[in-house]
Amino acid sequence: MQIQPITEHAIQILRHLHEQQDATHTGTAIAKKVGITYPYFKRLTLKLRQKELLALITQGGSGYYILGRPATEISYYDVFSCIEGELRVDHCQNYDGQCQYGTSSHCKLHEFLKNLQSKIIAEMSEKSIAELV
């Protein structure tokens, strides 16, 4: 498993907004601060806005952005799942829990990977954006 750069960019955007709570932030200024292009920023922030992790408070130009909710209420996993989808460590198991390769649904490997996945999600869910600043 490797966290994608787009997820790290999303974290950086949210961290920046949390650090600079008292200032207004245009999309172009945030993109520049994070080191990404404005078109990339727009695509990324659309996903964050859909999950209400980020809010656009004025339209037009590059707009002004704020956090969609307090940084203490946004977990690392909230951002990860918003950008990359639900974490799946065990790719040999279908969504219905059955093995794609014909082995038993009670395979020890499946159980190990399922437990590992649960632990990773729990760790990611315990850390808020505020704690990562």
For 23, counting Cβ atoms within 10 Å of its Cβ (0-12 exposed, 13-18 middle, 19+ buried), the class is exposed
**What's the domain range around 44?**
5-132
Instruction: Note the pLDDT tens digit of each residue in 13-67.
Output: 999 999 988 777 899 999 999 999 999 999 999 999 999 999 988 766 667 899 9
Instruction: Note the pLDDT tens digit of each residue in 79-126.
Output: 999 999 999 887 666 655 566 666 655 677 778 888 899 999 999 999
**pLDDT at residue 32 in the model:** 94
Report the 10 Å Cβ neighbour count for 75.
Answer: 19
Count of domains observed in the chain: 1
**DSSP-derived secondary structure letter, 71:** G
pTM of the shown model: 0.84
Q: Give the CATH number for residue 62.
A: 1.10.10.10
